Structure 1
């Protein structure tokens, strides 16, 4: 079986397939990051609700305030969860979620398949870089989830201790 040359007429779709796969991968990463950020904002909401209900309704009342040490513990959990969430939500410079039209227009390449190839290579590099950053942010999100669970357990123990 004869091996095809990269630019041979028999192999024109190879670069188009790679280009399309890279576009899909970057689009999926965009969706993954958006979902991660949405879940992270939910953590802050839940953390503050746990703190508020424990401090004002679950344990503390007008007559008997939540002891300062317990209140500071709840505040510490909320601050840590918010700090981790901010990291997940921060924008990232040089983030790529698709082909760069400016790069395509600036290219001096006149052969379509080579232009597709160069764009696919660039997007593949972005897929890898984005993936590493998404993993970092997902790990930070995971730590925030653990802290939320610990905050809930802390709130329950505070409620049981103060009743």
Structure 2
């Protein structure tokens, strides 16, 4: 073999290690995506809570009172903000079909490959890489939706302050 002392067994072991490393990297990437999605969902829940609290307080305590109710036009505007924010956050919160966050145990059990030569790691890494790409697109869509919900929340707050000043 060459002057570097490599043998065929060393090359096979090197390939097997590379496959295992690719598998572990894919598992790690899927775990990170799972965490990212969980964070987006938690933040989406928080936005819904904040939007409804702003609406509740503005509608009864901030702008309207027992004696002077919030004018209907202003109330409808406030309701529209809340509905839009909740609808967008529902998109972020809803589960996605065929979502993958790890290796498929069923696929491993049914695989034609065996673990010793690393091909099983390689086939699972390839499958997870496809899932990583698909998940990434879905996460980006949800992140953009979340960003729009944040903008709407800011606009809701500006709307409440503006209405408060105009109704005095």
Same fold flag (TM > 0.5): yes
Q: Does residue 124 of the first structure (1) align with residue 137 of the second (2)?
A: no
CA RMSD in angstroms, aligned pairs only? 1.9
| C-alpha contact 2:102 2:128 (8 A) present in aligned 1 | yes
Q: Does residue 84 of the first structure (1) align with residue 84 of the second (2)?
A: no
Over 3 Å counting, the alpha-carbon distance change for 1:11 and 1:52 in structure 2 is: same
| C-alpha contact 2:20 2:121 (8 A) present in aligned 1 | yes
Pairing partner for 1:152 from 134, 154, 157:
157
The Cα shift of 1:111 comes to 5.0
**What residue number does 1:58 align with?**
62
Q: TM-score, normalised by structure 1?
A: 0.94
| C-alpha contact 1:37 1:89 (8 A) present in aligned 2 | yes
The equivalences for 1:1-163 within 5 A come to 8-110=12-114, 112=116, 113-163=118-168
Cα distance in 1 between the residues matched to 2:122 and 2:141: 29
The Cα shift of 1:4 comes to 9.1
Q: TM-score, normalised by structure 2?
A: 0.92
4+ runs deviating over 3 angstroms? 1-5
The Cα shift of 1:132 comes to 0.6
Cα distance in 1 between the residues matched to 2:14 and 2:147: 48
| C-alpha contact 1:25 1:127 (8 A) present in aligned 2 | yes
Q: Helix, strand or coil for the counterpart of 2:12?
A: coil
Q: Which runs of 5+ in 1 are unaligned?
A: none
Q: Helix, strand or coil for the counterpart of 1:9?
A: helix
Moved more, 105-114 or 137-146: 105-114
Higher gyration radius (CA): 2
Cα distance in 1 between the residues matched to 2:15 and 2:43: 44
| C-alpha contact 2:16 2:119 (8 A) present in aligned 1 | no
